[in-house]
Structure 1
Amino acid sequence: MVVVFQPYVPLQWTKLCQRSDVGMSKAKGGRSLNRKKDRSLWWVIGVAVGVTAALIVASNVTARRLGEIVLPSIILTDQERGADRHVLGSADAPVELVEFSDFRCPHCRESHEILGSQIEELVAEGTARYVRKHMLVIDPSDTSLNAAEAVECAADQGYYWAFLDMLFANQAAQGQKWTRDAMKTYARELGLDTKAFNECMDQQKYRDKVLADSAEGYSTPGITGTPSFLVNGELLRIRSYQDVISAVLAAAGQSPGQGQ
């Protein structure tokens, strides 16, 4: 069944998050040399201790500046959720739902809160395969970028979706404070291997992947902001978030309320 979605841009959906436009003399000499070596050793030790202390202080300052971090009520691994990094569901599902989203976008948070469990139900039923992609809109060179890279680093440890849940749960209170150090604090609070996570962030391991996603979003005809949804490659023009579920069901040949 071919589903054609007619373009519609309702007034309330102009509220999509849109982009706003790093002998004796030798002996004396020997003793002097040893003293220099000793001083050098103690200097190195002192520097190391100082750097460690500074990092601890910086971490504590970051934690205090962020305030209380809300953790997901249930923390599941990606494997437990049947996910493969940013993808939920089987490639054999009749419908592919793709979302372009920005962790700093308040409407993306609303979408996640309203549609998250419903999309997981469609995935569990085998009706849909859900693919999430980054689109940097709110703060593309700083906080949006930091959050997107962080969730990809969390995925290396099997916690993409748990980290995603935590980001959206804290967006309203802390989104503007999402430095790279803040993301490291989030990883510690979630119980991740912080050494591996911090190295991933410091090396900007997933920056190219994040930027490629974002470029894809901006180059897709009709996408002007986030969240944006495509059903089997067709961009949806929706009046409400619930229209996303209706479009998935229609593409699968089902009507609302009809089970698999």
Structure 2
Amino acid sequence: MNSSLSMQCCNARQAIFVYLVKRSASLFLLLCIGCSAQSSSNDEATQRLKRMIRADYALKPGVEITLGERQRSDFKGYYKLPVFFSLGTKSQRVELLVSKDGRRLFRVQPIDDVEEKISLAGRPVRGSKDAKVTIVVFDDFECPYCAENHARLFGEVLREYGDRVRIYYKDYPLFEIHPWAGRAAIDANCLAAQDSEAYWEFADYVHPHAREISGQGRPQPQQFALLDNLAVSLGERRKVNMGQLRSCIAAQNDGALRASIKEGDAVGVSATPTIFINGEKNEGVLTSQDFRAMLDRELRDAGQSPPAHGSTEAASGGPKP
């Protein structure tokens, strides 16, 4: 092959180059996926593209990637390319922009996209509703790591930061491994519909006592009964409308629960706890140092002074009904 012909053809071993700009108004993913009819087939190019997407998104081995049909876009010279991720019954859709010559792809994600997708309307809040720093936790009542996070968040972090932060919980029960987590979430929401503090008292009790609720071989109906009785006991203590509470518990309407799970899926939640601090995603339990570093940074960015930090230890627990 002469030099001029070589310059016209793509090298089959050409590497894929990625340029990713994070924490900007938009997130761009640039992939050079050079293709040649002589050097690689469309199938090979598709597989290379899938491998690159898998690596960039850090997808688990079991996640399947499906490329949709190209569509017209508002960007000159580019088509929209839907990409679907699926794992079991869960799925997520993202959109890329592909150049008409098939050589470049862009992913555009507005910086405020995450916060816009998480609805906090009507959710119980701890801290100050007017705080500049918002902590949103996608939580599972039966998850031991969530219990550890709950203890640190409310035994130490809230004590230090007080009205400088506001904390919300969103439901994301892992039904496959935590059979009563969904029941607990619905019961808690029945309390929240009338009394936010009753919701938090429920969470304060269930998280450190999840193992006791599960019991050694305890049948699921008995687990459900324990949760229902706890909600009723807290409702009586908080003097809510008991008829309304009992009806809510009996109905077990999971509409709000499913909506919360859908929101979690939309912002990339796949495990619990997943913690968003002013929209920044963090998976797993954060250490006290991690919390402090992130919260202090967000406070300074908002023009506020962080609190003085002492050597406090996390505490757990809540009122026993």
Into which bin does the TM-score normalised by the smaller protein fall? 0.5 to 0.7
* Letter of the structure 1 residue corresponding to residue 282 of structure 2: L
Candidates 286, 289, 292, aligned match of 1:245: 292
Instruction: Please identify, of 155-164 and 186-195, the stretch whose mean Cα deviation from structure 2 is larger.
Output: 186-195
The alignment status of 1:99 with 2:133, answered yes or no, reads no
The alignment status of 1:168 with 2:207, answered yes or no, reads yes
- Whether the 8 Å contact between 2:137 and 2:274 is mirrored in structure 1 is yes
1:198 is aligned to 246
- Whether the 8 Å contact between 1:95 and 1:251 is mirrored in structure 2 is yes
> How large is the RMSD of aligned CA atoms in angstroms?
3.4
2:158 is aligned to 120
| Displacement of 1:146 | 0.2
Alignment of 1:2-151 (within 5 A): 85-121=123-159, 124=162, 126-139=163-176, 142-151=179-188
- Whether the 8 Å contact between 1:101 and 1:108 is mirrored in structure 2 is yes
* Letter of the structure 2 residue corresponding to residue 218 of structure 1: D
* Secondary structure in structure 2 of the residue aligned to 1:252: helix
* Secondary structure in structure 1 of the residue aligned to 2:166: strand
Looking at structure 1, the residues matched to 271 and 150 of structure 2 have their Cα atoms a distance apart, in angstroms, of: 16
Candidates 209, 228, 231, aligned match of 2:256: 209
| Displacement of 1:110 | 0.8
* Letter of the structure 2 residue corresponding to residue 156 of structure 1: A
* Secondary structure in structure 1 of the residue aligned to 2:136: strand
Looking at structure 1, the residues matched to 244 and 176 of structure 2 have their Cα atoms a distance apart, in angstroms, of: 26
1:43 is aligned to none
| Displacement of 1:201 | 1.5
Looking at structure 2, the residues matched to 86 and 105 of structure 1 have their Cα atoms a distance apart, in angstroms, of: 20
| Displacement of 1:157 | 3.9
Cα deviation digits, residues 58-110 of structure 1 (max 9, x gap)? xxxxxxxxxxxxxxxxxxxxxxxxxx752123343111111111001000001
Candidates 203, 227, 230, aligned match of 1:183: 227
* Secondary structure in structure 2 of the residue aligned to 1:236: strand
Cα gap change, 1:112/1:20 in structure 2, threshold over 3 Å: closer, same or farther? Answer: farther
Give the number of the structure whose residues are more often strand, by fraction. 2
Candidates 187, 191, 195, aligned match of 1:154: 191
Looking at structure 1, the residues matched to 189 and 283 of structure 2 have their Cα atoms a distance apart, in angstroms, of: 29
Instruction: Please identify, of 154-163 and 175-184, the stretch whose mean Cα deviation from structure 2 is larger.
Output: 175-184
Looking at structure 2, the residues matched to 106 and 141 of structure 1 have their Cα atoms a distance apart, in angstroms, of: 10
1:44 is aligned to none
- Whether the 8 Å contact between 2:139 and 2:274 is mirrored in structure 1 is yes
- Whether the 8 Å contact between 1:142 and 1:179 is mirrored in structure 2 is no
Give the TM-score of the pair, scaled to structure 2. Answer: 0.48
Looking at structure 2, the residues matched to 225 and 238 of structure 1 have their Cα atoms a distance apart, in angstroms, of: 8
Cα gap change, 1:174/1:141 in structure 2, threshold over 3 Å: closer, same or farther? Answer: closer
Any stretches of 5+ residues in structure 1 without a counterpart?
10-18, 22-83
* Letter of the structure 1 residue corresponding to residue 159 of structure 2: E
Looking at structure 2, the residues matched to 166 and 86 of structure 1 have their Cα atoms a distance apart, in angstroms, of: 16
* Secondary structure in structure 2 of the residue aligned to 1:235: strand
Looking at structure 2, the residues matched to 132 and 240 of structure 1 have their Cα atoms a distance apart, in angstroms, of: 16
* Secondary structure in structure 2 of the residue aligned to 1:120: helix
Q: How many residues align?
A: 180
Looking at structure 2, the residues matched to 237 and 209 of structure 1 have their Cα atoms a distance apart, in angstroms, of: 23
- Whether the 8 Å contact between 1:104 and 1:138 is mirrored in structure 2 is no
Give the TM-score of the pair, scaled to structure 1. Answer: 0.58
Cα gap change, 1:175/1:218 in structure 2, threshold over 3 Å: closer, same or farther? Answer: farther
* Secondary structure in structure 1 of the residue aligned to 2:174: coil
Give the number of the structure whose residues are more often helix, by fraction. 1
